[in-house]
Amino acid sequence: MPASRSIAQKAERLRREIREHEYRYYVLDEPAISDRQFDRLMDDLKDLEARYPDLVTPDSPTQRVGGETREGFQPVRHASPMLSLDNTYSYDELRDFDRRARERAERSSLEYVAENKFDGLSLSLVYEKGALARAVTRGDGTTGEDVTANVRAIRSIPLAVERGALHWLGVPADFEVRGEAVMTRRAFEELNRQQDETGGKRFANPRNAAAGSVRVLDPAITASRKLDFFAYFLYVDGRVPLSTHWKALEALDKLRFLSSLRHASLCPSIDEVVAYCERWESKRDTLPYEIDGIVVKVNSIALERELGFTTKAPRWAVAYKYPARQETTIVRDVIWQVGRTGALTPVAMLDPVEIGGVTVSRSTLHNMDEIERLGLHVGDTVVIERAGEVIPHVVKVTRHGHGKKPQPPSRCPSCDRSIHKSPDEVAYRCVNNSCPAKFREALLHFASRHAMDIDGLGDKLVDQLVGKELVKDLADLYGLKLGDLEPLERMGRKSAENLLDEIEKSKQAGLARLVYGLGIRFVGERTGELLAGHFGSLEALAKASVEELTEVPEVGPKVAESIAEFFSEKANRELVEKLKRAGLRAEEKRRATRDARLEGKTFVFTGILPHLTREEAGEIVAAHGGKVANSVSKKTDYVVVGAEPGSKYDKARELGVEILDEDEFKKLAGA
């Protein structure tokens, strides 16, 4: 059925709203609504488009990930070559570049734009009539691969830009954007953790992970890989359509791209460029993604044209590369460390080396597969890399010693119980629930920054607390007294008081952090948030069945089973009780203040409600203690039906679930 005008308008309104929230979340990093609210908007739009397929536009936010997997990538020739940059490795070399450029341009000084040099995969995005038409990798610089279907899934890339903005900037609707796809260090570590869990191949660094995630045949994989894209060039017919590079970056920003403008600096001369490079060398670790240097570009486009290119690189731009954070050293031993889930991780003990100002004496080897891949033996000479805050890792073996190949131990190095390995996993595990090493790691995880954030509870202190049996389960932390802490090594009265304050403060960390902090296998931060939002209390989560758990968006059977298994253990159920008794905020804050007339009730919405958007309706349910599910089951209490409902309505009738219209729903909620 063709959509009426009001429905078409509603779809357009939703699209605009979703685009705005994508921009706020993925580009500005300032989300205005919760993930759940965002998902609801998206569900509304998907519902609407499913019912009126003629409403679907290629640039609709629902169309980021196409369904089909492809056979390979088509080669595409770039409109103008994607060249590389000459590298400089010292400020002297950088000043030489400036001198040569000044001489050629016959200027006494040149104005530059200094930008981060993102360590990722460069892409060319071709926009036609304001909409993303093609995304191509750099390839050999002349011809790249068509990765459009995958790149559409990168949410900081606009599928379409506002015509008004183009007009205002004086940029035609056919243009090209070049930039770099990157992965944050956190997403990279999370991805490798997942790869370990599922027996997939680890990525060596965020750059490889970004490149590997763009060059997969299934766009859904790219979508799940959390990539960002930093735009750094705007071209029209192979030329910058503005008078300066800075203006081009500003235009990209106005067109709502995440651009290199964010950390760029307009430098009146090379002196300021050097100062910028110095500043960023120490600041680079604070960025969420990796940079491997600074790119310096002549600001004036007229001068850029005058300077031109050598055969392989522009004369108007250069890269200043930071020293590689790699060193060579010798592996003296390989020990096995027990993690919080009991997984044994091999760790290489090294002759200490300084890498980028930090002394490194150990390096993770991840698992047995990695040892095989590296072909590593004790006594080998290896290259170690320390990138950002990522734990140092072995890049490759450069010379073999004559030592043994490391073998996993047959007993746990901490509790001496036997070790298990399931056939579908890479890791060897200690399955003893009271293994002290596991508990030590669990406690560190519980206190970590993204969990309960107990500042000062580091590994030395945890060793003492566990070793002296002052803390035997996570809840014991909350029973610690000044008298317990003061006598510990490196603890004065002041630090003991500070720690107790921190522990007290952590009681307010909230349910999502607490759920994450419990260290349940497969439950990362995001899952912690989703579970907290869905169940509202630790008690409700602990009681949930596998079936109920899989109702939570993004929670699959594997995760659900792991959660249910965790709470089926008596010790863990007792832990929940003990944490509650200790006064931890084990419920969502807003739950404490709302009236609970819909407490425990599950609602499913279908069809278009006359007055409320899905989001508003969802808010009402949540505000009164109920929850919204996506599909109708026997557990559904009410199905709220609007105009032209979908199959959920039929299912509700089939199961005899109570059906309400908007008015009845409002009455029930007292809204």
Nearer to ligand IVH among residue 260 and residue 636 (C-beta):
260
Q: Which of 11, 317, 347, 471 is in the footprint of ligand IVH by CB under 6 A?
A: 317
Quick check: 205 binds ligand IVH (CB under 6 A)? no
Closest listed residue to residue 596, CA positions, set 540, 656, 662: 540
83 binds ligand IVH (CB under 6 A): yes
The closest of 218, 227, 228, 236 to 67, measured between CA atoms, is 218
Options 111-119, 128-136, 412-420, 478-486: segment touching ligand IVH (CB under 6 A)? 111-119
The stretch near ligand IVH (CB under 6 A) out of 58-66, 313-321, 435-443, 486-494 is: 313-321
- Could you tell me the CA-to-CA distances from 378 to 274, 399, 408, 607 in Å, in that order? 43, 11, 13, 65
Secondary element (H or E) of residue 9: helix 5-22
Cβ closest to ligand IVH, residue 41 vs residue 296:
296
- Over the range 367-385, which residues count as b (16 or more CB within 10 Å of their CB) and which as e? bbebbeebebbbebebebb
Q: Work out which of 85, 161, 301, 620 binds ligand IVH, going by CB under 6 A.
A: 85
Q: Segment 224-253, which members bind ligand IVH (CB under 6 A)?
A: 232
Name 124's bridge partners: 136, 178
Q: Considering 10, 46, 117, 297, which one is annotated as catalytic? A: 117
* Choice between 263 and 594, CB closer to ligand IVH: 263
The window from 43-51, 311-319, 367-375, 482-490 that contacts ligand IVH (CB under 6 A) reads 311-319
Contacts with ligand IVH by CB under 6 A: the residue count is 14
Residue placing its CB nearer to ligand IVH in the complex, 297 or 513: 297
Q: How far is the CB of 649 from ligand IVH (least distance, A)?
A: 51
Write the binding mask 167 to 196 for ligand IVH: x where contact by CB under 6 A, - elsewhere. -------------x----------------
Nearer residue to ligand IVH within complex by CB, 316 or 665: 316
* Residue 142 binds ligand IVH (CB under 6 A): no
| CB of residue 319 to ligand IVH, shortest distance in Å | 5
Q: How far is the CB of 93 from ligand IVH (least distance, A)?
A: 15
Q: Does 295 bind ligand IVH (CB under 6 A)?
A: yes
Q: With respect to ligand IVH, which residue has the nearer C-beta, 289 or 638?
A: 289
669 residue type, one letter? A
Q: Residue with structure tokens 């000043």? A: 95
> Distance between CA 200 and CA 198 in Å, rounded?
5
Query: CA separation (Å) from 187 to 258, 286, 321, 572?
Result: 18, 15, 24, 29
Can residue 115 be called a binding residue for ligand IVH (CB under 6 A)?
yes
N-terminal to C-terminal alpha carbon distance within the chain: 33
Among 110-118, 531-539, 587-595, 612-620, the segment contacting ligand IVH (CB under 6 A): 110-118
Cα torsion angle, 521, 527, 529, 534, sign: negative
447 touches 456 (CB < 8 A): no
Instruction: Indicate if 117 belongs to the active site.
Output: yes
Complex with ligand IVH: residue 131 or 303, whichever CB lies closer: 303
Cα separation, 636 vs 631, whole angstroms: 8
Nearer to ligand IVH, 253 or 644 (CB): 253
Is 441 a binding residue for ligand IVH by CB under 6 A? The answer is no
Shortest Å, Cβ 122 to ligand IVH: 3
The contacts found for 38-43 with CB under 8 angstroms, 24 or more apart, are 39/553, 40/614, 40/615, 40/618, 40/628, 41/14, 41/17, 41/613, 41/614, 41/615, 42/18, 43/614, 43/630
From the CB of residue 9, how many other CB atoms can be counted at a distance below 10 Å? 11
Type of residue at 280: W
Residue 396 structure tokens: 């490759």
* Beta carbons of 304 and 298 less than 8 angstroms apart: yes
In this chain, which stretch among 24-32, 114-122, 281-289, 605-613 interacts with ligand IVH, using CB under 6 A?
114-122
Task: Compute the C-alpha angle 413/418/419, nearest 5°.
Answer: 80
Residues with active-site annotation: 117
The site for ligand IVH (CB under 6 A) is made up of: 83-85, 115, 117-118, 122, 180, 232, 260, 295, 314, 317, 319
